[in-house]
Structure formats: structure tokens, C-alpha cells
Amino acid sequence: MPGEIRQSTIAAISTPPGHGAIGMVRLSGPASLSVLTKLVRNSSSAPLELQPNRASVQILTNPDSGLLIDEAVVIWFKGPHSFTGEDVVEITCHGSPVVLADILRHSINLGAELAEPGEFTLRAFLNNRLDLAQAEAINDLIHSQTTYQARLAARQLRGELSRQLDPLKQAIIELIVHFESTVEFVEDDLDPLDLVQHSLRLDQTIAGIDRLVASYQLGRTVRAGVKMALVGLPNVGKSSVFNALLGRDRAIVTSLPGTTRDTLDDETSINGLPVNLVDTAGIRDTVDPIEQLGVERSRSAMTDADFVIAVTESTTELRDEERSLLSDIPFTILVINKCDLGPVQHLERLAALAAGRPVITISALTGEGIDQLRESIHQAVIHPGIRFDESAIVTNERHYQALVMAIDQLKQARDDLHSGFTEEIALNNLHHALRSLGVVTGETLLGDIINQIFSTFCIGK
């Protein structure tokens, strides 16, 4: 059934596919210790005795033939004091796929069932070992590609987003209790509804949720990354800037104009933010059909990009075609390259074309100004002037939608009170808002949606 725990014992390989120094098979469920006992070769006639939460070295054998499988470190976590809240066994052995598959096969033959994707974490959630936001953070942490992504996921795994929501939910509960009492015991002459006081409380709660909602623009960027295109005339050094930002020679660089005839992209991290960087062909009028195709793809790359970096060079006069290009393209940062060749000849005119946007002078050849460019990109992505506590950054679209819905429902409750409707009308929206916040942590989520979330996890987690 959706959202329910299978009563069986589950088993899975919990380390990535392939060869490694060590690998792990994990079991969870009532028969975990029994399965382990049957896998361990005991030289004495006394039954195997393991202490909970203590590692021990054991010899694993084929329970049918008695042949050696491997020497392993095993740990038994006695429920409910385990990750899943059930009895859990972790078998850490040599990381041979053959050995791991052998242990898993014998575990299944001894009564375990193969775990479904995310089932260990699902059991932890359903056994109240962690809430849904924390469970999703595990998946985010596993798939993080930058240190910043990992740090945000680790903070949410510790329950920091949930702690941000707790006082907001409590404020709604207190309003519900007051309004319920007003409706239920109106004949007892309770204090009349203080419209100003309760409107203020609603406004404060809305503002608290809105701070989380506002953080999603940054959170989405941290989670999904941004696409950034380098554009400009031929031979201004776009490919050199591309290589400098990547930290390696990815694009071919020559002194000949038009070396780059097609778009080239690669993944990098800029101050912890994932960036898909795109090098484009130089944009100019040309009769060469191949170059024309490259120019068309460059313009398409600009359209698809979240941010555009315009690249020019420092030592040549500002040409009409360059002035026209910079006037037409919606760039975020203007980069003046080749400063190692001499001072910028037309800085004031370029600054005027930038119209207040950052202008960074660099040398892609020597590396001068590259760190400043990275910082400028970082600030452009995270929106300068906006700062968020890392514990209050929303990175999940599902969380964002639930929070937006809660704000709408609280605003409706506030507007109903101001319009003279009874407390019963406001109560309906308050209950809906509380349920919307519960969606984030999984308190009010349907089972089929829960199963859909956990199906995105890897097997063994």
C-alpha cells in the first residue's frame, strides 16, 4: 500500500556499482540479525552473540556449502535506535561486485527481500526517524556536485528547514485554537476578536513564510545550476576566457579570427554554484555559410542562457559592429580581455554601453582579473543585496509550491476577517494553510506522492 511499510526484511547493496576497496550490503527488518547469524561461520558450538552498535570482524560463508565468501566487518543496530527505526545490519566487505552479489543473493535466499529504490529512507520516514524534508535532503546530498550544494543539503538533513517552519506552524495553531474557542464557546463571553492583534499575527506569519519563498530563486539556482554564454566579436578571446573559467584547456585557442565555429559547453563550479558555461562563435556579418551557421547558433545560445557575458578586448578601438552588438544583446557582465597587452583604450564608452552593469578587466592569458570575474558572476547569480541564512534556503520545487499555497491561504484568512466574515470562514483557510506547511515535512502528504518521491532514490538508500 502507498506510504506503508512492508513487514518483510529488505536487503540491498548500498555502495555504488563497480569495483572498490570496500562495499556494503545493508539489511533492515525483523529478520536482519537472523540472516546475518546464518551467514557467519562460527567455530564454536555456542550461538553467535553480537552487541548492538559495535563492529566486529566475522567470516561469511555460503550457508549451504560452508564455502568461504569473505571476511567482513559487521554491525547490528537494534531497533528503534537505527536509521530506519528497525533492526539494521550493515555488512562491510571487500568491494568486489561478485562478493557483494553473493552476500545479497544468500541474504535473499535466507528470507530477505530485495529493497526498492529509497526504501531504507522511506522506512526511516514512516517510522518517524526523520521528516520528509530531511529524507529529500539525503537524496540531494548524494547527488550534490558542488560543496555549496552539499552544505545546503547537509543543513536540511539536520532538520533546519523543519525548525524554521515549526514556529510558523505554531503561530497558525494558536490562531486556530483561539478562533475555535470563539466559535465553540461564544456564550461564555470570551474576549472578542481583536482584529488588529490577530491581523498582525497573520502578517508576521505570512512574512516568515515569504522569506522562505523568496529564497527559492537562489535555492533553485544552487540545485539546478545556471547556463551562461560567452559572446562577442571574433578574436576577442572568448575561448580563452572559457578555458580560464573552467581551469583547463577545453576550447582550441589560436590567433586566427573565427577559430570557434560552433558552440562548446562544459560544466564548472563558480564559488560553489554549478554553471554550464557555453563558448560561442564570434558574431559578425559573413558570407561564409559555415560561419553563418555558427553565428546563428551563437544567437540561439544567448536566447537559451540564463546569463550572458559579453567579451571585448582592451587594445582595439571600439568598432561600430561591436557597439551595435553590445547595444543589442542582454548581457549581465561586460568582460574586457587582453589587459596584458596594454591599457584599455575605450573604457568610458564601454562603461556607458554597460549601463551600470559590472565591467571587469582581465587577462585570460595571465589569469589577471579572473578571480574578480568569478566573484562578479557569483554575485550576479545570487542577486546582490539579498542575503539568506543558509538554514532558510528553499531548494525544492515541491516545498516552494506548498509555501506559496500557505501564504495565499493565510492572506485569504486575513482578508476574510477584514471583510467582516465570521471566524468560521477564517478557520477554514487557517486549517488549509497548516496542512500546506505540513506538506513540506510530510505530515499531510498522500501516500502515492510519498512513494513517487522515494522512487527517485537509489537502491540501498
* Residue 57 shares a structural domain with residue 15: yes
Q: Is residue 71 part of a domain?
A: yes
pLDDT over 90, % of the chain: 39
Average pLDDT over residues 436-445: 86
For residues 238 and 329, membership in a common domain is answered with yes
CATH number for the domain spanning 48: value is 3.30.1360.120
pLDDT at 380: 84
Q: Is residue 167 part of a domain?
A: yes
Q: Are residues 118 and 28 in the same domain?
A: yes
Q: CA-to-CA distance for 306 and 276, rounded, in angstroms?
A: 10
Q: Assign 258 a pLDDT band (cuts: 50, 70, 90).
A: low
Least-confidence region, from 181-185, 217-221, 274-278: 181-185
371 and 233 belong to one structural domain: yes
Quote the pLDDT of residue 458.
83
| Domain total in the chain | 3
405 shares its domain with 377:
no
Exposure string of 135-172, with b = 16+ CB inside 10 Å and e = fewer, is: bbbbbbbeebebebbbebbbbbbebbbbebbeebbebb
Average pLDDT, the chain: 84
Write the DSSP symbol of residue 341: G
Q: How sure is the predictor about 420, in pLDDT bands with cuts at 50, 70 and 90?
A: confident
One domain for residues 362 and 232: yes
**Residue of higher predicted confidence among 304 and 52:** 52
- Average the pLDDT over each of 134-148, 226-240, 375-389 and give the range with the smallest value: 375-389
274 and 327: one domain? yes
- Pair (61, 120) in one structural domain: yes
Q: Confirm whether pTM is higher than 0.85.
A: no
- The average pLDDT across 261-282 equals 81
Residue 450 lies in a domain: no
Give the alpha-carbon dihedral of 200, 205, 206, 208, to 10 degrees. 130
pLDDT digits 0-9 by tens, 3-21:
556 789 999 999 999 999 9
- Judgement on whether residues 124 and 153 belong to the same structural domain of the protein: no
Share of the chain above pLDDT 70, in %: 87
If asked whether residues 347 and 400 sit together in one domain, one would say: no
Tell whether the model's pLDDT for residue 122 goes beyond 60.
Answer: yes
Which residues form the domain of 176? 147-215+392-442
Residue-wise pLDDT tens digits, 352-378: 888 888 999 988 888 899 999 999 988
Both 205 and 296 in one domain: the answer is: no
Residues 238 and 205 in one domain: no
What is residue 189's predicted lDDT score, i.e. its pLDDT? 44
